[in-house]
Amino acid sequence: MQPTIESIYKRYSPALRPVEQENSIGYWFIFRGNQLLVHETGDLLAVPVGDRLDKYELTSSRTLYLGSIEGASCYTAEVAEDSTVPEGMVFLPLFALYDRIDEDLFHVAGRGLQMLSWDATNQFCGRCGNALNHADHERSKVCPNCGLSHYPRLSPAVITIILKGDQILLARAGHFPNNMYGLIAGFVEPGETLEDCVQRETMEEIGIKIKNIRYYDSQPWPFPHSLMIGFIAEYDSGEIQVDGEEIAEAKWFHANELPNIPPRVSIARKMIDWYVEEYKS
């Protein structure tokens, strides 16, 4: 059965600038490095809400508008590493906030982190060196001297669930913590289709051939600017031979004997959970 594909956003509307009917009091996604500022009251976390950043006695090096959630504006801002943390609040890694804040807010925060990274690393034109201006009609920057447009960086990467009968192939990279196993993944190279990349990465990392490649789902991965594109594939031929560089170990597993697997924030976990449900049914 093919998995159901849904939008990750339920209430969020992206935009370049606020509209007149928007509420001036909105959400502020304030980052110190890769950490997001949140109110902390036990296990409950909340994104700051207000009409301006200086309410929290913080000074931003850059502030960007992201869009709105049910009429409330969404802004993202970057503050200095030595910024004082407001009372009753804490900076936490974005990755650790999944399932601890509203899902839409989590995804908008990820968008904000990517936009701040893009804005910080695209101040000058790579062709002529002139300072860049924000475009009026799209999310890009334009060089006023040579006219070159600079768009937010996005690095597409494929991730594949490989099935062999009722078994799933899981692999462990040397840097994975707690003996965790995940799926085969890798970045798309110039000139490749996504399916080409799925086949190449599988052969390079574990030495087997696959077939019946089909799309599963996708997930933005703002660490810092990837787009994970999931696929389902079936084993065709060959014996597992790990490359010893990116992959340290790979095995076939049954649904009732899975090792330590990725957290629910990742598309890898979503895909593995889908496999388990299919096996049960």
Residue 212, class by beta-carbon neighbours within 10 Å (0-12 exposed, 13-18 middle, 19+ buried)?
exposed
- Residue 99 burial class via C-beta count within 10 angstroms: exposed 0-12, middle 13-18, buried 19 and up: exposed
Closest CA to 106 of 270, 262, 264: 264
- Tokens coding 180: 């965790």
CA 4 distance to own-chain centroid: 20
Residue 206 in tokens? 């574990």
Single pTM value for the model: 0.88
Say how far apart CA 132 and CA 112 lie, in whole Å: 20
In 260-274, which positions are buried (b, 16+ CB within 10 angstroms) versus exposed (e)? ebbeebbbbebbbeb
Q: Are 221 and 150 within 8 A, CB to CB? A: no
Residue 233: burial class (beta carbons within 10 Å; 0-12, 13-18, 19+) = buried
CA–CA separation, 71 vs 22, rounded Å?
5
248 in Cβ contact with 173 (< 8 Å)? yes
What string of pLDDT tens digits covers the 281 residues of the chain? 666 666 777 889 999 988 776 667 899 999 999 999 999 877 779 999 988 888 888 999 999 999 999 888 999 999 999 998 999 999 999 988 988 888 899 999 999 999 999 999 999 999 999 999 999 999 999 999 999 999 999 999 999 999 999 999 999 998 888 899 999 999 999 999 999 999 999 999 999 999 999 999 999 998 888 999 999 999 999 999 998 889 999 999 999 999 999 998 899 999 999 999 998 87
